[in-house]
Homo-oligomer: A and B are copies of this chain.
């Protein structure tokens, strides 16, 4: 199968207890694409400005990510400035300059419209809905979101949830959307809006997936040296959707393993700034960490 992803591409300036980096490659679609590319073919739709370094496009291409849907338009690339402190659980946003992203209208190239899997990375839910109207009955649709859209575009988000197969949220977003502190209740509430499955990301505490008939929960892969958590959720989604695409199935067994691969990929990503750790990553390391995860969590032997 192959994956269409639509989302943000950004230049981030990030400060963590481990240092500061300026104008480094970021964005939801970027992290997702790069992580998913270890599993299957990815076609990227997004927008950048004229200032976007060619080396970043070359980097994506080096992973066989199709960038024909990447619009390069007049103006500056989307920029985010943020920082993390202490356990780096929560990002503090210092500035968000949408720039070319402000008027972004995703245009799905004709050759992308029949792809099997569509991942709607975190952007305005109205734009996510617009993407779904351009594609031809994908086998699997997945959306992510963020707290901003729950605050200012909840109706659009609810409409979107009724149109996708899998909703991916982090625990804070799920609680906020469902207006309940209990995560199981929150997940059930999201499911009521229409998706077959809801995936709740819990950062260092792992993730869970729920449907009406099925529930799976898992701890996070323990990481001693977290340097920059930016993109962890998108990288998780990249591993999750990437594995589903590779496996060609959306059954319980595949969904569970996909969640583990998501956690494994996110665990690599947080070990360095931007995509730096993933740039050094190979398939063997992913398999090794998957097996390490099995070993760390299996209580049957």
Interface residues of A (CB under 8 A from B): 86-88, 175, 181-185, 188, 202, 204-206, 208, 215-220, 222-226, 253, 256-257, 259-260, 294, 296-301
Contact = CB atoms under 8 A, between A and B. Distances in A.
A255 B63 CA distance: 43
A182 B219 contact: no
A299 B205 contact: no
Given A217-B297, A218-B219, A296-B215, A183 B208 contact: no
A296 B183 CA distance: 15
Nearest to A292: B215
A216 B296 CA distance: 5
Nearest to A86: B181
B215 A222 contact: yes
Contacts of A297: 216-218, 297
A217 to B, nearest CB: 4
25 contacts: A87-B181, A87-B182, A183-B222, A184-B222, A185-B224, A202-B205, A205-B205, A205-B219, A208-B219, A208-B222, A215-B296, A216-B296, A216-B297, A216-B299, A217-B219, A217-B220, A217-B222, A218-B299, A219-B219, A253-B301, A256-B299, A257-B299, A259-B299, A260-B299, A297-B297
